Chain A
Amino acid sequence: MTIDRKTAPEFRTFDNINLIHPAHQKLDSGCNVFCFNSGDQELVRIEWIFENQRFDKNKPLLNVAVNTMLTEGTGTLTAAQIADKVDFYGAFLQVDYGYDQSQVTLYSLNKHLQHTLPVIKDILTDSIFPEKELETFIRNQQQKLQVSLQKNDFVARRAFNKALYGDSLYGLAADADSYKTLHRDDMLLHFKQMYQPSNCTIVIAGKIEPQILELITNTFNKDWVNPAEQPDISQPELRASAEHFYFIEKPEALQSAIRMGLPAINRNHPDFAALQVLNTVLGGYFGSRLMANIREDKGYTYGIGSGMSSLKYGGALFIATEVGADVCKAAVGEIEKELNLLQTELIPEDELSLVRNFLLGSLLGSLENVFSHADKFKNLYFAGLDYSYYDRYVETVKTVSAERLQELAKQYLNFNQFYKVIVGKY
């Protein structure tokens, strides 16, 4: 049998995706619990998610330090004892600070949950940030920062965020001295205000049998008490800088990091999905125009991409790459060309249909397991959206016209309005 290797096999597009919706309950403590019960493995991932408190530019690292040091000691457990317990039961305990929320995550086998949950309870109710551990934290973070500051892409990202977001959690660019503003008393107060049940959302994903759920809700219900004061989760207004161009010279750089873009819309805006399609055409996948031109045609870089961030109080569209120092100017020129092209010429239907299919496939491909379903939910929940968002998203990806994308390009992809950061040589 001879087969036709020149012609692509038939393929299908699809109309909808099936997302698992969570079961919800509100505990007496005021904490909302969302459960995604699916999967064969006897395990769960539990996240305790807290809205960040208002940023104070005089104490810029407070949120980061309080979150990172949650594992460093409680009234009854030392940092070493916390680590011993978590590790002994084969669990994984993570703390993560984000731009809008900060969280504690526990990955645990169900059979060990009765031993691991009390540790989390202790952390969330009785962290004490011991002075000695704080010293260690500050010393090590200062050292790590020194290394990061030698990396051009790191420096570029900080400078870009600072330009777009100013003095806010989003624009945070700590230096060694910032760590001197950290004091244990402030941390204790911040902890008490922020890490309280009425400010907490619990998201559970995995095989959640009734007794597992009961174990979790009992642990975080009646005796987890809210303090009298509610946390202040408002944030200062974002102010972008007047200066749009930043060149940080590194005379010996072999490559320059380029980061450019502008404040844009977030997920709540009706144009967000359409702009995601445009972003994908520009730099959101391997076959994107930036990759095709600047990597695959010119060979200036190992990688270039564009992306969109969606935050509670804003969003951004940005392009990032590291290019050979000698071709930095040429690369910037090519980026400008690609932006202009999207404003002046309609995206050909062939390319657009490819991107439509790619995005729908990616959405499907992102549903690997029950954790992914929980992640999809979090995107919606913390933006105040419901599941109809994904219906609208799919509809937009399938139908947005080339004309509409050109209008968006004129609105959002003006090279002259971009903030531009270059670290290295230019």
Chain B
Amino acid sequence: MVKFNRFTLDNGLRVLVHEDNTTPIAVLNILYDVGARDEDADQTGFAHLFEHLMFGGSVNIPSYDEPLQRVGGENNAFTSNDITNYYITLPAVNLETAFWLESDRMLSLAFSEKSLEVQRNVVIEEFKQRYLNQPYGDVWLKLRPMVYKKHPYQWATIGKEIKHIEDAKIEDVKAFFKKHYNPQNAIMVVGGDVKTEAIKQLSEKWFGPIPAGEKYHRNLPQEPEQHDERRSTVTAKVPLNDVYIAFQMGARLDESYYAAELISDILSRGNSSRLYRNLVKEKPLFSEVHAYMTGSLDKGMFVFEGKPLENVSIETAEAAIWEELERIKTELIPADELTKVKNKIESTMIFSEMALLDKAMNLASFELLGDADLLNHETEKYLAVTTEEIKTLSNQFFRRDNSSTLIYLAEKA
């Protein structure tokens, strides 16, 4: 149970407070309701580039990091296809510094040309380091456009190509800020050794004067249901073959989300899971094989990924994954197996309460979904899933004409 208090400023900023006096630290997490899905198709990677620019100085404060480090604080941020999230950890006694810094960059950035130029280079190096200079690093750049034909999930947060980042202009940066970075599009969570009354005062003082700005109304093309089997093969300088099979699944708020996650746990969580047990240990066909889902706010992906052993053909490997899918589609899973994955969900939820920053991020995410208190009702939703639902949903997802298969072939030297 993660307790919290909640209030909204006149300008629309939603604030949640989680009091946890077992630690001497405080965290301040700000979620902006903007991600790579909100980008133009010819200007991808922009939300993430923008995240970098948020550290390039704000209207009244030339350096973001320096004053925070001076009071013993640390910070970071991440961008996903759905959101951009900024977080600070610092000694609770110095919390006001975090309010000062975060409110100033919500008020306005410095929009420095130098910062833009440098961060373009940094992000291009990030593109290379994480996506191009790693074996299999570009797989998401290839797989996303196979699964999504209309929805902007067809590009990764880093962007479609380096050129989009090179082309970013300061006017684009300003326009993006105006559109997405204002109190109405943000959720702030403060947690740790703090008191709600004090947080109210600090919020009013530092964030209260910020103009509400315009509300961004998202209107994205939704991905139509898939009714064709998609397949692609690439050859690359990688040491081993790799098989990816992606299926379209529901959005995060769909009722089916909980059963879907349990399916992925049954198939792939821990050493007792089906894929590991049957395809790595018993038969041995793969050196590793996993299933996971993206959990995105709009229609998500349910992905299988496996590296077959060197003497195993791609056809055999694929067939083995499909055999497991057929099994979960046709046979009800044993009650014990369902209890097992539910127990794991329950303990994971309790263990996650040990981590202050995780709690703050979770509260922000669930508030974005509609109500932070949903976090405290997650476990019961998982516990309510039945073996029949697992079977029904598996039949909905794991169809040939709902699949996108990407085969990564190792180039023979």
A interface, CB within 8 angstroms of B = 1, 3, 5-6, 8-14, 17-18, 38-43, 71, 79-80, 82-84, 86-92, 107-109, 112, 133, 136, 139-140, 143-144, 146-147, 149-152, 252-255, 285-287, 295-302, 322-324, 353-355, 357-358, 360-362, 364-365, 367-371
Max chain B Cβ within 10 angstroms of own Cβ: one of A88, A302, A369: A302
Inter-chain contacts of B209 with A (CB < 8 A): 3
Inter-chain contacts of B22 with A (CB < 8 A): 38-40, 369
CB–CB A5/B281 < 8 A: no
Inter-chain contacts of B211 with A (CB < 8 A): none
Q: Give which listed residue, B67, B124, B354, contacts A41 with CB less than 8 A.
A: B354
CB–CB A365/B72 < 8 A: yes
Q: Give which listed residue, B71, B238, B356, contacts A357 with CB less than 8 A.
A: B71
CA of A166 to CA of B124 in the docked complex: distance in angstroms? 36
Whether A5 touches B104, Cβ cut-off 8 Å, given contacts A144-B288, A364-B72, is yes
Inter-chain contacts of A86 with B (CB < 8 A): 270-272
B344 contacts partner chain A, Cβ-Cβ < 8 Å = yes
Inter-chain contacts of A84 with B (CB < 8 A): 272, 340
Whether A11 touches B104, Cβ cut-off 8 Å, given contacts A147-B239, A322-B133, is no
A250 to B: closest C-beta gap in Å: 9
Closest 7 CB pairs of A and B: A361-B72, A299-B121, A90-B347, A83-B271, A90-B343, A83-B272, A146-B239
Binds A, one of B86-94, B248-256, B314-322: B86-94
CB–CB B74/A8 < 8 A: no
Inter-chain contacts of A365 with B (CB < 8 A): 25, 72-74, 89-91
Q: Give which listed residue, B90, B340, B354, contacts A371 with CB less than 8 A.
A: B354
A349 to B: closest C-beta gap in Å: 13
Inter-chain contacts of B270 with A (CB < 8 A): 83, 86-87
Task: Give a binary string over B332-362; 1 marks a CB under 8 Å from any A CB, 0 the rest.
Answer: 0000100110011111101101111100000
CA of A380 to CA of B32 in the docked complex: distance in angstroms? 41
Inter-chain contacts of A42 with B (CB < 8 A): 350
Q: Give which listed residue, B61, B97, B344, contacts A11 with CB less than 8 A.
A: B97
Whether A8 touches B280, Cβ cut-off 8 Å, given contacts A86-B270, A151-B135, A300-B125, is no
B interface, CB within 8 angstroms of A = 22-25, 59-61, 65-67, 69-75, 89-91, 93-94, 96-97, 99-100, 103-104, 107, 117-126, 128-130, 132-136, 205-206, 209, 237-240, 269-273, 277, 280-281, 284, 287-288, 307, 309-310, 336, 339-340, 343-348, 350-351, 353-357
B41 to A: closest C-beta gap in Å: 25
CB–CB A369/B350 < 8 A: no
CB–CB B118/A297 < 8 A: yes
Inter-chain contacts of A367 with B (CB < 8 A): 23-25
A258 to B: closest C-beta gap in Å: 13
CB–CB A361/B91 < 8 A: yes
Whether A6 touches B60, Cβ cut-off 8 Å, given contacts A136-B284, A369-B23, is yes
CB–CB A43/B125 < 8 A: no
| 22 A-B pairs (CB sep. < 8 Å) | A3-B209, A5-B103, A5-B104, A8-B67, A14-B91, A43-B347, A80-B272, A80-B277, A87-B343, A112-B343, A143-B309, A150-B134, A252-B237, A286-B75, A296-B118, A298-B121, A299-B124, A302-B126, A354-B66, A360-B72, A365-B25, A367-B23
Inter-chain contacts of A357 with B (CB < 8 A): 69-72
CB–CB B271/A79 < 8 A: yes
A224 to B: closest C-beta gap in Å: 25
Inter-chain contacts of A38 with B (CB < 8 A): 22
Inter-chain contacts of A149 with B (CB < 8 A): 239
CA of A286 to CA of B126 in the docked complex: distance in angstroms? 16
CA of A312 to CA of B123 in the docked complex: distance in angstroms? 39
Inter-chain contacts of B136 with A (CB < 8 A): 147
CA of A88 to CA of B344 in the docked complex: distance in angstroms? 7
Inter-chain contacts of B74 with A (CB < 8 A): 285-286, 358, 361-362, 365
Given contacts A41-B350, A255-B133, A371-B354, 6 further A-B contacts (CB under 8 A): A136-B284, A150-B238, A287-B69, A300-B125, A301-B125, A365-B91
CA of A341 to CA of B313 in the docked complex: distance in angstroms? 57
Whether A80 touches B281, Cβ cut-off 8 Å, given contacts A139-B287, A143-B310, A150-B238, is yes
CB–CB A143/B120 < 8 A: no
Specify the main secondary structure of chain A where it touches its partner: mixed
CB–CB B271/A87 < 8 A: yes
CA of A284 to CA of B178 in the docked complex: distance in angstroms? 35
CB–CB B237/A364 < 8 A: no
Closest to A146 in B: B239
Specify the main secondary structure of chain B where it touches its partner: helix
CA of A326 to CA of B235 in the docked complex: distance in angstroms? 26
Max chain B Cβ within 10 angstroms of own Cβ: one of A6, A38, A71: A6
Inter-chain contacts of A80 with B (CB < 8 A): 272, 277, 281
CA of A91 to CA of B209 in the docked complex: distance in angstroms? 48
Inter-chain contacts of B100 with A (CB < 8 A): 5, 8-9
CB–CB A254/B65 < 8 A: no
CB–CB A358/B70 < 8 A: yes
Closest to B90 in A: A361
CA of A371 to CA of B120 in the docked complex: distance in angstroms? 39
CA of A364 to CA of B92 in the docked complex: distance in angstroms? 10
CB–CB A11/B65 < 8 A: no
CB–CB B135/A150 < 8 A: yes
CB–CB A41/B281 < 8 A: no
Inter-chain contacts of B272 with A (CB < 8 A): 80, 83-84, 86-88
CB–CB A254/B132 < 8 A: yes
A40 to B: closest C-beta gap in Å: 7
CA of A358 to CA of B74 in the docked complex: distance in angstroms? 8
Inter-chain contacts of A133 with B (CB < 8 A): 281
CB–CB B340/A88 < 8 A: yes
CB–CB A286/B69 < 8 A: yes
Q: Give which listed residue, B117, B345, B355, contacts A299 with CB less than 8 A.
A: B117
CA of A156 to CA of B208 in the docked complex: distance in angstroms? 50
CB–CB A300/B121 < 8 A: yes
Inter-chain contacts of B356 with A (CB < 8 A): 368-369
Inter-chain contacts of B271 with A (CB < 8 A): 71, 79, 82-83, 86-87
A9 to B: closest C-beta gap in Å: 4
CB–CB A255/B128 < 8 A: yes
CA of A242 to CA of B357 in the docked complex: distance in angstroms? 46
Max chain B Cβ within 10 angstroms of own Cβ: one of A1, A82, A253, A286: A286
Closest to B73 in A: A361
Whether A358 touches B336, Cβ cut-off 8 Å, given contacts A11-B97, A40-B22, A255-B128, is no
Closest to B345 in A: A90
CB–CB A143/B287 < 8 A: yes
CA of A353 to CA of B69 in the docked complex: distance in angstroms? 10
Inter-chain contacts of B240 with A (CB < 8 A): 143, 146-147
Inter-chain contacts of A296 with B (CB < 8 A): 118, 122
